[in-house]
Amino acid sequence: MIHSEVRNASPRLSRFLNWEHLRLDLLEVLDTPVHVCQSPTYRAEIVQRIMSLLASYKKEREVPPDPNLMELCSAVLLNFREWDKLIELEHKVDFYIQFAKVIANVCKEVSNKAGRSATKELWDTILPIFNNPVSNQHKRTASGMSKDSPRESTSAIMNRTQLFQFVKKLKDVLVLGIIISCLGKFYNILKDDSNGEIFLEYQTLWPTVISNSNVFNMMAVGEVFQNTLHHALSIHPTHTAWLRTKGDVMYVQGHYASALMYYLSAAMVSSDFFSLPLPKAIFDDLQYKHMIHCCTKLQNHTQASVLHQFLEEPNYSMAFKALGERVCNDSCDTYYSCIWDITLLEFLVNHHTKRGETDCRQHVIQLIGQLELNSNNNEEIQREAASLRKGWFLRAMAKQYL
């Protein structure tokens, strides 16, 4: 009754009240944990109200909603995977809607395994946000000298703060994955360090070079990328690809124990606590080499030597060197039972013989004598023996680092 009277007396006031009501509902939607399912009817109602708002804005531009409400609308439409509704909107309704529309285009292409035309648009939208400030305004100091006043590029769709504030409202796995991948690729290119390249999901979507990389702020890109990754993992803490990405971030920063924690978390999640083979899309040779390097830096040399077995082609010289280290922070011969490579076990027999360590030598000889490690066994038995020992080893690592 009251609402009807307000609408009749002042359509503009009625519109503002509707917007505020929608704002509260959108905030409630965004505060709802991802594991709490909202009814399809309620979601459809929210979407319909958002579309009505956007339609009214198109008709009556003299009373536009404030940017914060448009930001909420954009985030909710992305979280609800309303790709088509976003794509159909006018391109210049609002800069948040415009940005969400570009992301929706990419998500739809990735979902449908279609072309990559939209990825270039997102790439070209993200890059200007991180332009270094340009100086084109001149102010006078107290001494009368001219002083440049920096400003951000006017070509950017939004500034960095607005970008991250918007990202913090996003919860959908695909949406966050696309943004993390784009920012991460951008950061990898600017960093230009082949040895410190960070693993990324969807990394083949993006260009591999930037012609004018010196005009971008690498530190700002890295900061927003890492903050976005942190936010994504706070929403979806078991997303395997992001766990590996986070591990790589820790690795390049020299936080080796933390890197191992994230690597092992990714392994545990993707293998049902190491009971299944690790997916090669995530755990490739580069991943294992990073883990080996982490263990070496932590002086856990026996762990490093065991990990050499995980490589497609073990580096025996490095593995032998690790096994021969005198200063070792791990429990050394405790991990011998996790070795299935006879070459490493034979090295250990010789190594302990030279040192006169009879008990250790005898222990290794007993391990070599296990039937499942016989080199004459067929490939299936050898694979099962290796798989069993991989599980033992990774569980022991998880117990230490997680």
Residue 226 is predicted with a pLDDT of 97
The CA distance from 228 to 160, in Å, is 12
Furthest C-alpha separation in the chain: 98
Residue 5 is predicted with a pLDDT of 52
Please check the confidence at residue 149 and state whether its pLDDT lies above 70. Answer: no
Q: What confidence tens digit (pLDDT) does each residue in 34-67 have?
A: 777 778 899 999 999 999 888 877 666 556 677 8
Cβ atoms < 10 Å from Cβ of 283: 20
Residue 143 is predicted with a pLDDT of 41
Global pTM reads 0.89
Please check the confidence at residue 283 and state whether its pLDDT lies above 60. Answer: yes
The CA distance from 4 to 232, in Å, is 43
Reported for 341-344, long-range contacts at CB under 8 A and 24+ positions apart, including other chains, are 341/309, 341/314, 342/368, 342/373, 342/375, 343/314, 343/316, 344/305, 344/308, 344/309, 344/316, 344/319, 344/320
CB 219 within 8 A of CB 265: no
The CA distance from 26 to 73, in Å, is 7
Give the pLDDT mean for 260-286.
94
β-partners of residue 138 are: 148
**Closest C-alpha to 166, from 222, 97, 221, 87:** 97
Compare 224 and 377 and report the one with higher pLDDT: 224
The two structure tokens encoding residue 279: 């997916």
Residue 39 is predicted with a pLDDT of 87
The vertex-158 CA angle with 237 and 117, nearest 5°, equals 75
CB 322 within 8 A of CB 302: yes
Percentage of the chain modeled with pLDDT above 90: 72
The separation between CA 376 and the C-alpha centre of its own chain, rounded to angstroms, equals 43
The CA distance from 23 to 70, in Å, is 9
The two structure tokens encoding residue 362: 């005898």
Q: Which of 12-26, 92-106, 146-160, 240-254 has the lowest mean pLDDT?
A: 146-160
The packing angle between helices 379-401 and 256-270, to 10°, is 130
| pLDDT, averaged across the chain | 88
**Closest C-alpha to 385, from 349, 318, 338, 328:** 338
